[in-house]
Structure 1
């Protein structure tokens, strides 16, 4: 566009530069006014010195300094083939080049040497578009040879994002120890720790004699707290190669104590991996709601997932059965649904069945059944165990019995019964102890007790307290305290096991019961339930609220997809499923 000014008109011919280059290229092709011949061995390409000098610092230095080539009629280039030279000269005169899988590498090498940075980056962009898990490690190597940081960064991101697929490639076994250490130690690696361990072992065994000395250093990068205990038990704990290394043996023994011992873990040598190492960045917390009664009070099979990153709810695979007053816990990145009454069955009797859900597969499977059929019971998980407590049995009696599931051995076993059989207590595990707060007796009267189970000793004791009057309320561990969330009351009580004292937190808006509660990050999320109105009516809720212990305040997170109560509310930490590479 032309620009007018006080003293005239500034005329801009937008096509002039490109027309000029086009004319110069025509002159070159007809060998008119060309004053230098660029050669690759016997191949000769006539050019104009001023055009080459204007296009590249390399040629500017060659023709405008005191180099021998500045006065020679022919200039010989080395390290470039004739086809690449033709493409480069065409680019100099037209600004165009067709990049393909066949020519991208020689073009990139030539543009790096002759200093054409825009074409170099165009080649890099093309290679980035061709990245796959099977070639990304090779691309990282190539980028280092060519000093191409953009390609290296993108190729490394692919390697970390699709690590399980990359780990299966032959290229991973060819990495040096330093390169493998950089990948295994990266917080951004996206893959289960079982895959990290398998990659480490495959690399060591590929050249055992040369690589055995790196075992301890690399083994410490496997984040053992996030290994499934069954995988650790069967494939790591007694591995002969790891056992042959004294330093790796120390790591293994430390891991065994943390994973399997119900007793405290004594101090261990400095060789242990940091047991409280955080999960990799790819792990996310998801809120899962399942079962319960929705809208018209019909028992539902729905399973809902809430993603904090997107603030969206989505439906997952439905429960295999319509269950009334079952319980659910998370253990080792899976959800276990225990007992309940199967609605619609010919005989409405308590069930001993256990259903296990994998978020990664979005599938349910049948697990080992409980020893006793029960519903309206409570369940909680600790280390590799699930505890199923109390409830109502086949004879409609209130049970005080408890059983424990060992997920490593896949067995249930009876444990000591609670001192007082109660229904609907708040349950949580903290510091090797299982706490039952309140609940109600067979006459639906509140029980003002804290019943404490010492996990390693298999013994109970009880404490009377006037602070407890909760029924149908969840409990969660939030920091160092156990928080009892409502239960026919608006009250939120935080219990400190160390001091055996209660601290009152900010009240909920409503007197609430039959709701769900779970912790994500450092905050408490409460879902659905039923509220007792001021005129003593009961209303079902679709509310979704968040409590921040730092500010002692509540905020609304919006609404659930529908009104819901008597449901399970769980937090599941896992790596989101990465879609197949395009």
Structure 2
């Protein structure tokens, strides 16, 4: 009985013990030590069973190591090939020095790559199917890329069938085309190759430079390349070429004049700009519409520019600022030459125009006809042809290569209905049909060959419930009464076929659908806003500064910086401006330089 009890207790104790766990031991040094030992065996020629021969050198190796390291050697030694029976294997096309380096790499995982050996090393790695070594050579070459050699690197990558190198070299060629176009390698491009660059939307180049590049390429071998002028010229997006450059320089180029098709294309542009229509002559030998609507290239990127206005409720500001959406930072441009009150501000052909205004930094205030221009290339202010009439508190809007100036206060400081148009092609102003009704502080925008003037106020400071429409091609006005319109000191901006009227002594924002001729209610502003500015950047509205009515019904200056997305009908805050600002210009300009001079 006692014996049975003891056996039972023993069994119980054994059942109570925890199960033995499996311990997985991983020796981190095993693989490296194994390679080290194999390399020693190779160096001491122990158990080596094959000699790799190149030039007059013989390198002893282990077949199993070679088979394990490369599909090339696996195929050679593991199939019914003659090499399986041979002690010596001759590798043609690989120098002994390169072969020694590769075998060292196989046994150690280490190799020195330099410009002197990278190409034969890459070729050998490709032949022997060492993929990681091949990509290491590609990475080394990518580190050596610069605008002077990226085109030759593309040719090399094609020979080597190296996609990673080609992609990086092509990316550099596209982004640094200004420098690449000056390299000697450009002239060696074939016609399909240069066509491929010039037609790419991602090419970082202005259209003027695209034209100069194709001309230089043709002049390098005029006998065989002159016939390609018309095909190449179609890749220049003439809509974005400055009119002066197009009609005074390009049109007079002997190469262009030698091609009937090229001269027809230029004539098409001339007709489109003069008639402000969207159709060209039906007799033209090429369908111009696709060329005209081609998008702007990825030249650089669009940036938001603020200029003038009233700063911190003090005197008028001479400052011009630029906001880079990618870095979310403000930088200062060169200051305006004079202080101007209620000037107008527009951007055309990557040039900022400050038009008219009341000068405030002189003893006697004068109403100005002066037009100041700022190019982001030079960051320097210049003067253009002055307006025909002095005015301030007016509105300006661009359409194609024209600037239209509407209304405002004239030389007698009374509201005026006069309209004038600046032709940037010829640097001259001309009078146009006057507005049906003179209004101050309306919302103005252009769309589909029309200029829309919404609301504003009359001389008694009463809101005007009118939409005045200027038909650009006919130089005629029409009027529409509309009870929805009740805006004063509100900006307007166009996105697609809709004109957005933002605030104007109200929180309301409405969109006018120009095709459907109806208003659409949008998400409200946070406060009642006026004297602010709006511009379109990447199909979104950016609203800056202005004045607002606070909770105590007191008007205050604002430094707000907000963004409206038409697709989602939502507002987001972009932070604040560097200072409070109102009655300023807010514009979108293509960044072509980053050499701003801080004020």
Confirm or deny a common fold (TM above 0.5). Answer: yes
- 1:385 aligned residue: 402
- 1:109 aligned residue: 123
Residues 557 and 48 from structure 1, CA distance in 2 versus in 1: closer, same or farther, beyond 3 angstroms? closer
Residues 466 and 94 from structure 1, CA distance in 2 versus in 1: closer, same or farther, beyond 3 angstroms? closer
* Cα-Cα RMSD: 3.0
- 1:145 aligned residue: 159
Residues 449 and 60 from structure 1, CA distance in 2 versus in 1: closer, same or farther, beyond 3 angstroms? closer
Partners of 2:121 and 2:521 in 1: CA distance: 70
Shift of residue 266, structure 1, vs aligned partner: 4.5
Deviates more, 1:394-403 or 1:105-114: 394-403
Number of aligned residue pairs: give it.
Answer: 575
Q: C-alpha offsets along residues 196-232 of structure 1, whole Å, 9 cap, x if unaligned?
A: 2222232233333433444443333322222222222
Partners of 1:159 and 1:174 in 2: CA distance: 14
- 2:371 aligned residue: 354
Instruction: Report which of the two structures shows the higher radius of gyration computed on alpha carbons.
Output: 2
Indicate which of 205, 216, 220 corresponds to 1:206. Answer: 220
Correspondence list, 1:57-456, <5 A: 57-263=71-277, 265-266=279-280, 268=282, 271-272=287-288, 274=290, 275-281=292-298, 284-456=301-473
Residues 47 and 468 from structure 1, CA distance in 2 versus in 1: closer, same or farther, beyond 3 angstroms? closer
Superposition TM-score, scaled by structure 1 size? 0.89
Residues 523 and 57 from structure 1, CA distance in 2 versus in 1: closer, same or farther, beyond 3 angstroms? closer
Shift of residue 161, structure 1, vs aligned partner: 1.2
Partners of 1:484 and 1:179 in 2: CA distance: 47
Q: C-alpha offsets along residues 261-317 of structure 1, whole Å, 9 cap, x if unaligned?
A: 335534645532512222234554332222212324332233233344444444433
Moved over 6 A (4+): none
Partners of 1:458 and 1:316 in 2: CA distance: 37
- Asked if the contact 2:355/2:369 (under 8 Å) is kept, the reply is yes
Does 1:480 find its partner at 2:497?
yes
Partners of 1:194 and 1:393 in 2: CA distance: 39
- 2:588 aligned residue: 571
- Asked if the contact 2:342/2:392 (under 8 Å) is kept, the reply is yes
Aligned-partner SS, 1:120: helix
- 2:15 aligned residue: none
Aligned-partner SS, 1:108: helix
- 1:48 aligned residue: 62
Partners of 1:423 and 1:457 in 2: CA distance: 24
Q: C-alpha offsets along residues 221-268 of structure 1, whole Å, 9 cap, x if unaligned?
A: 322222222222223334332343344344333333333433553464
- Asked if the contact 2:206/2:299 (under 8 Å) is kept, the reply is no
Residues 32 and 161 from structure 1, CA distance in 2 versus in 1: closer, same or farther, beyond 3 angstroms? same
- Asked if the contact 2:279/2:289 (under 8 Å) is kept, the reply is no
Residues 8 and 495 from structure 1, CA distance in 2 versus in 1: closer, same or farther, beyond 3 angstroms? closer
- 1:528 aligned residue: 545
Residues 41 and 387 from structure 1, CA distance in 2 versus in 1: closer, same or farther, beyond 3 angstroms? same
Partners of 1:97 and 1:31 in 2: CA distance: 21
Aligned-partner SS, 1:152: helix
- Asked if the contact 2:396/2:406 (under 8 Å) is kept, the reply is yes
Deviates more, 1:534-543 or 1:375-384: 534-543
Shift of residue 120, structure 1, vs aligned partner: 0.8
Shift of residue 513, structure 1, vs aligned partner: 1.6
- Asked if the contact 1:247/1:271 (under 8 Å) is kept, the reply is no
Deviates more, 1:94-103 or 1:241-250: 241-250
Shift of residue 497, structure 1, vs aligned partner: 5.1
Aligned-partner SS, 1:145: helix
Q: C-alpha offsets along residues 119-151 of structure 1, whole Å, 9 cap, x if unaligned?
A: 111100000010111111111111111111111
| Structure 1 gap ranges (5+) | none
Residues 457 and 271 from structure 1, CA distance in 2 versus in 1: closer, same or farther, beyond 3 angstroms? closer
Shift of residue 96, structure 1, vs aligned partner: 1.0
Shift of residue 557, structure 1, vs aligned partner: 4.1
Residues 176 and 296 from structure 1, CA distance in 2 versus in 1: closer, same or farther, beyond 3 angstroms? same
Aligned-partner SS, 1:298: coil
Partners of 1:553 and 1:37 in 2: CA distance: 73
Aligned-partner SS, 1:97: coil
Q: C-alpha offsets along residues 297-355 of structure 1, whole Å, 9 cap, x if unaligned?
A: 33223323334444444443333333221111010112111122333323322233222
Q: C-alpha offsets along residues 160-195 of structure 1, whole Å, 9 cap, x if unaligned?
A: 111121122121221122222222222222222222
